[in-house]
Amino acid sequence: MEKSPGKDYNREMHTAEHILNQTMIRMFGSDRSVSNHIEKKKSKCDYKFTRPLTDLEILKLEDEVNRVISLNLDVRESLIPINEASEKFNISKLPPDAGESIRIISVGDYDFCPCIGDHVTNTSEIGSISIISTDYNPDSRILRIRYKRR
């Protein structure tokens, strides 16, 4: 489950984060980000990873995220029973009193994720993103990706 909206929280950047997460999963076999900081001006996602990305991989990642955004996918929410959610999603971050139903956000057929944040209703509202930097810490094995809206 992701954190509730913060001071400079931005629904466009948050929805782009969902797409970035799923693209990291599809392109590199990673898990979703282990932490993130989503703001209107720029955002960052941290991934458990084994190496830095190459310049070409960064370009391909950015291109694929923007390709998905350009599909003008509807973003919807649904509630599913917690026992069903536990079979499909990692719900380990949920508090013990999360309730009987879990909110799932779907970005078209591209991404499905438990989430409590605000989102656009269609990816056409995002525009496009630029990956502005990445860095890799070999000690913690964390890959940080910073991005902004164009």
Give dist(CA 19, CA 24) in Å, integer.
Answer: 9
According to DSSP, the residues that pair with 35 across neighbouring strands are 46
- Residues sharing a CB contact under 8 Å with residue 60, sequence separation 6 or more, in sequence order: 27
Residues 28-83: tens digit of each pLDDT: 999 999 999 999 999 999 999 999 999 999 999 999 999 999 999 999 999 999 99
Residues paired with residue 148 on neighbouring β-strands, in sequence order: 130
Burial class (CB in 10 A: 0-12, 13-18, 19+), 119: buried
Q: CA 74, CA 123: separation in Å to the nearest integer?
A: 7
Confidence (pLDDT) at 8 = 56
Domain range summary for the chain, segments of one domain joined by +: 11-149
Q: What is the pLDDT of residues 16-38, one digit of tens each?
A: 999 999 999 999 999 999 999 99
For the 11-149 domain, the top CATH level (class) is alpha beta
Helix (H, G, I), strand (E, B) or coil at 130: strand
Q: Order of strands across the sheet with 35-37?
A: 35-37, 43-48, 142-149, 129-137
pLDDT at 2 exceeding the cut of 70: no
Q: Which of 87, 71, 89, 92 is nearest to 19 (CA)?
A: 71
- Which token pair is 21? 């997460």
Residue 102 binned pLDDT confidence (cut-offs 50, 70, 90): very high
pTM score, two decimals?
Answer: 0.91
Under a CB-based contact definition with an 8 Å cutoff, are residues 35 and 21 in contact? no
